[in-house]
């Protein structure tokens, strides 16, 4: 239950990887570093960029960079960037129609306190708290050693 999308999980891995000390990292480079297909990583980075969690530099020698320190990124914000606004209900979006009839809809505002509680819980945990386990041992070894390998070797 509360199925967190797999993309969101990747997002955490990607963000932690972005904290590896380098100034700028490319999408293919990150993909190689964390062992996730490049198109998927690209998609994650796009969402994160749209959510303001990373800043991007276009063009050759471009790449991504953390917009803030991991300590200042609550996990709730990552989820919001990937899966949309955090809300625990079936019809919470600000859709105009309001389930056709506001009075009839049994799903109304009731979950607000629950949502607030979850929001608070997710705001209290930062990515720094999840950092340690974020990059599995297998991928933690090739750090700054040679990370432009699998993409640089393609030319």
Partner DNA sequence: ACATAACCGGACCGTCGCAGTCCTGATTAG
Partner DNA sequence: CTAATCAGGACTGCGACGGTCCGGTTATGT
Rounded Cα distance, 35 and 120, in Å: 32
If one asks whether residue 155 binds DNA (CB under 7 A), the answer comes out as yes
The distance of closest approach from Cβ of residue 88 to a second copy in the complex, given in angstroms and rounded to an integer, is 5
Rounded Cα distance, 53 and 67, in Å: 5
If one asks whether residue 95 binds DNA (CB under 7 A), the answer comes out as no
Given the complex with DNA, which of 4 and 121 has the nearer CB atom? Answer: 4
Under rule CB under 7 A, how many of the chain's residues touch DNA? 32
Other CB atoms within a 10 A radius of the CB of residue 83 amount to 15
| Binding characters for DNA, 33-72, by CB under 7 A (x = yes) | ----x-xx-xx-xx--xx-----xxxxxxxxx--------
Binding partner of 149, given DNA, a second copy, none, CB within 5-8 angstroms per partner class: none
The closest of 141, 79, 147 to 115, measured between CA atoms, is 79
Rounded Cα distance, 17 and 75, in Å: 15
């Amino acid at each position: 239950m509360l199925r967190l999308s797999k993309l969101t999980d990747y997002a955490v891995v990607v963000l932690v990887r972005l904290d590896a000390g380098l100034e700028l990292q490319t999408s293919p480079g990150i993909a190689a570093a964390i062992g996730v297909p490049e198109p998927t990583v690209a998609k994650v980075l796009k969402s994160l960029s749209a959510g303001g969690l990373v800043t991007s530099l276009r063009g050759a020698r471009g790449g991504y960079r953390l917009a803030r320190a991991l300590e200042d990124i609550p996990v709730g914000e990552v989820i919001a960037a990937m899966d949309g606004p955090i809300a625990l209900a079936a019809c919470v979006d600000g859709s105009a129609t309001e389930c056709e009839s506001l009075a009839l809809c049994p799903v109304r505002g009731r979950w607000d306190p629950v949502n607030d509680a979850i929001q608070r819980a997710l705001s209290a945990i930062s990515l720094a708290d999840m950092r340690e386990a974020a990059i599995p041992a297998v991928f933690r070894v090739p750090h700054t050693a040679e990370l432009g390998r699998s993409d640089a070797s393609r030319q």
